Amino acid sequence: MLNELVRILREGRRFVITTHKHPDGDGLGAMFALGRSLRIAGKEAVLLSEEPLTPPFDRMRGAETVLQNYTPNGEPVTLILLDCADFDRPGKVVESFKGDAEVVNIDHHFTNTFFGRYNWVEPECSSTGELIYRLLQHAGFPIDREIAENLFIAIQSDTGSFRYENATAAAFSTAAALVGTYGVRPSRCARLILDEYPCARLYLLRSALGTLETHLRGKIAMVTVSLDMYREAHASTSDSDTFVDYPRFLSGVEIGVLVRQTAEDAYKFSLRSNDFADVAALAKQFGGGGHKRAAGFDAQGRLADIKLLFLGAAAEMLEAHAA
Amino acid sequence: MLNELVRILREGRRFVITTHKHPDGDGLGAMFALGRSLRIAGKEAVLLSEEPLTPPFDRMRGAETVLQNYTPNGEPVTLILLDCADFDRPGKVVESFKGDAEVVNIDHHFTNTFFGRYNWVEPECSSTGELIYRLLQHAGFPIDREIAENLFIAIQSDTGSFRYENATAAAFSTAAALVGTYGVRPSRCARLILDEYPCARLYLLRSALGTLETHLRGKIAMVTVSLDMYREAHASTSDSDTFVDYPRFLSGVEIGVLVRQTAEDAYKFSLRSNDFADVAALAKQFGGGGHKRAAGFDAQGRLADIKLLFLGAAAEMLEAHAA
């Protein structure tokens, strides 16, 4: 597949690259890196994202080149989806391509549906960024400092700065190459994406920590952020992006849960597991998905009802494991 | 120097290894790794620490072998100080060795005083753990999974999980080797040292965040933890170990400060800088020390007075840089 992709990159003239909605450091880092490398190699590369980028991602180098829509003019184009488990993940921006374009699917989610004409899916790989590094290396396509930095950000953010289960030997050696060969500064990347935030985030964190609750004899810990809290702290949704780690890291916890209110009766559940629980399977029961150790779902209704259903399903999963 | 040390390890029979007071993951990881490797190689290795280890460090493999005191019986012994900038850092445990033992000094602090008979000091190195890895590799001394895990913990904890300035290419490639060759699991190590804590820590964090203050037009941010807060949260000092990152990571901040009350009129200041400020120099003005980006000092008196003095010195440093 890698050789096939190299051929496509070499022969293609016009590429449209996109990633999933609510993009993260991995999808965007991979997209900026691939887009810039193709452009330096003399190709046309259009980068698409359904919504304008929000902080901290709008600070990434390459963010200024992202478009919100693009209408193919009939000329042949290769559409590359990065970090997308299925074809719908990017949202409306890919609708106009249906049936038309040669679709390339590069991803590391094990739930990937192999929706492309060409599918390079490596669930064992730390991140889509690491795949793009391998692809560019293999193809002999250009990598400069900016590309290397975006690839590093992709790996760093998807591995929780090299401390989640996907912090593999390959992730570390790729990072070593990006730092050693291209002069990437990990502290600069961390500060760009993970480690710089407005006071509002700390105000929000303070109120969120006040909602900490534990269930199922401490196996599940949960933190909730309401619309009121966002409002009072003058914070945005992305300010709570990493809050799920607070309940997750408590001693004895297997599943950490962050509940974010998104509208009057709408909630987004983010799930993380520490040792054994397959939270992708758990999220799937509620129409969501993700990785074994990191997944999520959206739910409508009264929060108390949703929580009850969720805790029931989680209890079943934990009991099945204990048995 | 490396060859000299290899000779000392090979020829020596009896080693006493220690690290600084209030030990951290780096000093301890390096100590456990070196001690175990020497023992497997058939040597005698005594591990010393002035105080019994506290959580999370008492969970590290090898923690059970640490002694609080050891009286040399006159036979020749090699005393190895790890991660110690000067000979006093380990505290009373090394007093009985003064003048007697062959002292080996392995460290990565640029303030190191070269107090040993043999001094291997590499300020460019991420951690003392990375130095021990190089030493064991170079000497052909044994490295098993437990040793590799402790070396990984050393590097991981001293680099803030690979995101501080000392996350070098060598740190990443050492990590790649430890994970790839010896089967270290980064997520397990992170959870052992960085990412597992009691509820008390989150209660403490919540009250600490309530004290957030910024100074010098947002260039300095400070968080204070009082004895009352520790008491109310049922938390221990080590629960606040990473709190300095909260003020540090605020947008626009150059110096993040954590103030911990240690007694009625006694305070410990921890300083972190993001871009340019030399906090080791700043700490030195108050009798402390450390690295350029991470330093600290102890102070006695009324907190308001100490803060005023500190902010004055910090303002001078920041203004000198702006000029």
Residues B160, B15 within the same domain: yes
Domain boundary among A162, A193, A224: A193
What integer is the mean pLDDT of B34-61? 95
Does the distance separating the beta carbons of B161 and A169 come in below 8 Å? no
pLDDT at A99: 67
Residues A251, A317 within the same domain: yes
Residues A95, A226 within the same domain: no
Query: How long a stretch of residues is chain A?
Result: 323
Give the gap in angstroms from C-alpha A304 to the nearest C-alpha of chain B: 23
**CA torsion angle B26 B31 B33 B36 (round to 10):** -160
Task: For residue B204, give the nearest of B183, B228, B176 by alpha carbon.
Answer: B228
A183: left (phi over 0), alpha (psi -120 to 50) or beta: left
Residues B120, B28 within the same domain: yes
Using pLDDT thresholds of 50, 70 and 90, give the confidence band for residue B71: confident
Residues B209, B188 within the same domain: no
Q: What is the pLDDT of residues A220-256, one digit of tens each?
A: 999 999 999 999 999 998 899 889 999 999 999 999 9
Mean confidence (pLDDT) of chain A: 95
- Distance of alpha carbon B112 from alpha carbon B102, whole angstroms: 18
pLDDT at B74: 78
Q: What is the pLDDT of residues A248-306, one digit of tens each?
A: 999 999 999 999 999 999 999 999 999 999 999 999 999 998 889 999 999 999 999 99
Q: What is the pLDDT of residues A151-184, one digit of tens each?
A: 999 999 999 999 999 999 999 999 999 999 999 9
Strands A289-290 and A294-300, by their bridges, are antiparallel
Residues B94, B221 within the same domain: no
Give the gap in angstroms from C-alpha A71 to the nearest C-alpha of chain B: 38
For helices B145-158 and B169-182, give the axis angle rounded to 10 degrees.
Answer: 150
- Chain A's closest residue to B191, CA to CA, is A249
Domain boundary among B193, B211, B245: B193
The enclosing domain of B235 has a CATH number of 3.10.310.30
Residues A45, A24 within the same domain: yes
Residues A243, A121 within the same domain: no
Task: For residue B314, give the nearest of B264, B242, B254 by alpha carbon.
Answer: B254
- Distance of alpha carbon A103 from alpha carbon B50, whole angstroms: 63
Using pLDDT thresholds of 50, 70 and 90, give the confidence band for residue A74: confident
- In a mutational test of the A interface, the residue from B133, B149, B202 whose CB has the highest number of chain A CBs within 10 Å is B202
- Chain B's closest residue to A164, CA to CA, is B187
Task: Examine the pLDDT at B100 and tell me if it is beyond 80.
Answer: no
How many structural domains comprise chain A? 2
Tell which wins on pLDDT, A72 or B59: B59
Of the listed ranges B73-87, B93-107, B125-139, B199-213, the least confidently predicted one is B93-107
Maximum CA extent, chain A: 60
Those residues of chain A whose CB sits closer than 8 Å to some CB in chain B are 156, 160-165, 167-170, 172-173, 175-177, 179-180, 185-187, 189-191, 194-199, 202-203, 205-206, 209-210, 212, 214, 245-246, 248-251, 274
The enclosing domain of B177 has a CATH number of 3.90.1640.10
Task: Examine the pLDDT at B35 and tell me if it is beyond 90.
Answer: yes
Query: What domain range includes position A312?
Result: 199-322
Give the gap in angstroms from C-alpha A286 to the nearest C-alpha of chain B: 27
Residues A48, A118 within the same domain: yes
Q: How far is CA B254 from CA A161, B214, B217, B225, B290, in A?
A: 22, 11, 11, 21, 17
- Distance of alpha carbon A149 from alpha carbon A189, whole angstroms: 7
Does the distance separating the beta carbons of B179 and A176 come in below 8 Å? no
Using pLDDT thresholds of 50, 70 and 90, give the confidence band for residue B75: confident
Q: How is residue B225 written in tokens?
A: 């933890």
Residues B134, B13 within the same domain: yes
Residues B7, B97 within the same domain: yes
Q: What are phi and psi of A45, to 5 degrees?
A: -135, 120
**3-class DSSP state of B107:** strand
- Chain B's closest residue to A196, CA to CA, is B249
Residues B66, B46 within the same domain: yes
- Chain B's closest residue to A214, CA to CA, is B199
pLDDT at B130: 98
**3-class DSSP state of B163:** coil
Look up residue B68 and give its DSSP letter: S
Domain boundary among B159, B193, B227: B193
Assess contact for A172 and B173: CB atoms under 8 A.
yes
For helices A145-158 and A169-182, give the axis angle rounded to 10 degrees.
Answer: 150
What integer is the mean pLDDT of A192-211? 94
Task: For residue B318, give the nearest of B263, B287, B274 by alpha carbon.
Answer: B274
